Every structure is written in structure tokens, then in C-alpha cells.
Amino acid sequence: MPLSGIDQIALQLRVMRPRRLVHVHFMVPVGTESSANVHAQIEAAIKRYCDVRLSNLSIELKARQLTVIRGLQTGVIVSGDFIAAGRRRHPRGRNGGMAADTAFKQH
């Protein structure tokens, strides 16, 4: 699907990541009546686009956050299972450390 003009501008700005204010000039086709009404319509259309785009980005961000949280929860559960399995295989000795089967020679 081809990008609209404003989507192309948004994509270019995303790639450029400008650090200063950017001015964008919109040109209307030749023969379009230049009036305050046309200016207001263009301004309203841009505002609607920005509102919808920001809303969509907010929803996308929340979805990504939930994905990360679910991944962390799964990681904690799996880590806990590995720790518990390790403790069942290697019970702690009397001094709280891992029980050792190795005898050390003194020099």
C-alpha cells in the first residue's frame, strides 16, 4: 500500500531523528482555491492524523510492554524451576554450602 504524503514525512523524520524543530510546508495542487477555509481543512486533517497516529503508537507501546512483562514473568518462573531442581539434586550441607563429595589434601 503506498504511503500518504504525511506518512512519508513521518517516516523520513523517524529515520533522520532531528534534534531541532522541523518545519514542513504543504503545497496544494494548482487550481485549488487558496482561502482560509482550505487552510483550516488542511490543519484539521493534519491534527486528526496526528491524534490517530499517537493513539495507535500508544496502543502499540502498551502491547510491547505487556509482551516484555510476560517474558520476564516466564523467565522468573523458569529460573525458579531450575533453582528448585538444582537444590533437589544437590542438597545443602551442614554449613549451608553445597554438599561436597571431594576431599581436599592439605599441603
For 100, residues 6+ apart whose C-beta sits below 8 A from its C-beta are 93
CA dist 8 and 46 (Å) reads 13
Q: What is the pLDDT at residue 94? A: 55
Average pLDDT (78-107) is 68
Average pLDDT (87-102) is 61
Instruction: Tell me the per-residue pLDDT of 33-89, one tens digit each, with 9 for 90 and over.
Output: 777 788 888 889 889 988 998 999 999 999 999 999 999 999 999 998 888 888 877
Residue 58 DSSP symbol:
H
Instruction: Tell me the per-residue pLDDT of 4-29, one tens digit each, with 9 for 90 and over.
Output: 888 888 888 889 888 888 888 877 77
Q: What is the pLDDT at residue 64? A: 96
Q: What is the pLDDT at residue 103? A: 56
Q: How far is CA 27 from CA 4, 34, 41, in A?
A: 14, 11, 13
CA dist 107 and 103 (Å) reads 13
* pTM recorded for the entire structure: 0.55
Q: What is the pLDDT at residue 75? A: 92
| Site of grid cell 513521518 | 10
Nearest alpha-carbon partner for 53 in 2, 4, 1 = 4
C-alpha cell belonging to residue 50: 496526528
